[in-house]
Amino acid sequence: MTTPYLPFTRPTLDEETIQGVVEVLRSGWLASGPKVQEFELALADYLGGGRQVRVLTSATGALEVALRVCGIGPGDEVILPALSFAATANVIVRVGARPMFVDVDLATRNMDLNQAEAAVTSRTRALMPVHFAGLPVDMDALYGLAHRRGLRVIEDAAHAIGSAWNGRRIGGFGDIVSFSFHPNKNMTTIEGGALSVADPELAKAIETERFHGIARDAEGEMDVVRAGGKYNMPDVSARVGLGQLRRLDEFNGRRRALARAYFSGLKTDPPMQLPSEGDDGHSWHMFAPLLPLEDLRITRREFIQSMHGKGIGVGVHYPAMHLFSVYRAMGYRPGDFPHAERIGRSTVTLPLFPAMSDSDVARVCQAAAEIIAAGARRAA
């Protein structure tokens, strides 16, 4: 019997959620409605801390809205890590500000906060850290820096729904926190994102920005108070999110178990550099070791192709952002951020999703070990 193909990620949707979507479709209320309100309240309750949560069509849109409601625009600078998905930097450019990249820690992949502090100028308005793979940034150091320098913090927590710092869930405290519900994340709404804030007035500004800048008076008369966009989540997506949120802790618990199995079983010669283990606050959005390319005759592309040949999907998360053409045009160059560049050229994302079995992890580990052994420079 042919071994089934193992993708690097796959969402888990149960029948109760699917039936719930059918009920929404039959209700006739397909745009933002009661399910969006229910989902926002459920997320706020899950995060804790008395937060205000507003959902949007994507995490990219959520980050852009966050920048806009903070008044960040032309002439401003936002400090962020050089290692993330391109959207983290793109939204800064889209509001007219300049992304100020800094390097990351080689083990945690999170923003180097010492470099972040050194990058602060009179034009710096915000820090935009990324909780890479679900491993929280050092929140005490992050907010200590923000308070010392009078900066907003917009957390890119796209990987970190369900992650925690010292027992408090990411998004349950802090300034502005953005989540992603893309299908490859720890929970999905098909497409979608959310912003978590403490201030009800800031939540109102997010509502206005996400739906055309429309405000209504007590009589329901409409005014447009800002040139807003359209980022409102439909009820179908919210209903998927409600089903996913109900199982999020279960999903993340399974992810942690799979990560432990990788740490135990992924033994290659020459060795791959494994990610930081973190603690129980790590939600393990993905497992991304570094290939020992300096000791291999094969390239990363060839490693990925060989894994694919064994029926195993492998991703790349992520290339160093400052090396993309749009950011080179701003003056960034190879060598600016050595850790991000090393990670970017040698990282691979191995399969990790709740429906995987322990035997799936063993299969991945064996395949990786075989391919690396065969591709080692010392091999005949």
Q: In this predicted structure, what is the pLDDT of residue 1?
A: 57
Domain hosting residue 364, numbered range: 248-375
What's phi and psi for 91, nearest 5 deg?
-65, -30
Q: Is residue 200 part of a domain?
A: yes
Same domain, 60 and 147: yes
Same domain, 234 and 267: no
Same domain, 178 and 66: yes
Q: Is residue 8 part of a domain?
A: no
Same domain, 165 and 199: yes
Same domain, 156 and 217: yes
Q: In this predicted structure, what is the pLDDT of residue 2?
A: 74
The CATH number assigned to the domain holding 100 equals: 3.40.640.10
**Locus of tokens 């979507």:** 21
Domain-terminating residue out of 204, 229, 246: 246
The total number of structural domains that make up the chain: 2
- Point out the catalytic residue in the list 185, 230, 267, 310: 185
Same domain, 262 and 302: yes
The CATH number assigned to the domain holding 320 equals: 3.90.1150.10
User: Distance (Å, rounded) from C-alpha 181 to C-alpha 53?
Assistant: 14
Domain-terminating residue out of 204, 231, 246: 246
Contact residues for 209 (Cβ-Cβ < 8 A; gap 6+): 65, 68, 69, 226, 228, 229, 231
One digit per residue, pLDDT tens: the chain, 380 residues? 578 999 999 999 999 999 999 999 999 888 999 999 999 999 999 999 999 999 999 999 999 999 999 999 999 999 999 999 999 999 999 999 999 999 999 999 999 999 999 999 999 999 999 999 999 999 999 999 999 999 999 999 999 999 999 999 999 999 999 999 999 999 999 999 999 999 999 999 999 999 999 998 889 899 999 999 999 999 999 999 999 999 999 999 999 999 999 999 999 999 999 999 999 999 999 999 999 999 999 999 999 999 999 999 999 999 999 999 999 999 999 999 999 999 999 999 999 999 999 999 999 999 999 999 999 997 44
In this prediction the pTM is 0.97
Same domain, 116 and 223: yes
The neighbouring-strand residues paired with 287 are 350
Q: Is residue 6 part of a domain?
A: no
Same domain, 25 and 97: yes
Same domain, 233 and 271: no
The string over 151-184, giving b where at least 16 C-beta atoms fall within 10 Å of a residue's C-beta and e elsewhere, is bbbbbbbbbbbbbbbeebbbbbbbbbbbbbbbeb
Same domain, 231 and 253: no
Domain-terminating residue out of 216, 231, 246: 246
Return the H-helix or E-strand segment holding 16. helix 15-27
**Locus of tokens 């969006």:** 36
Same domain, 85 and 150: yes
**Locus of tokens 């009820």:** 235
Where are any strands of DSSP class E within 202-344? 214-216, 222-224
Annotated catalytic residue 35: no
Same domain, 40 and 181: yes
Q: Is residue 5 part of a domain?
A: no
Q: In this predicted structure, what is the pLDDT of residue 28?
A: 87
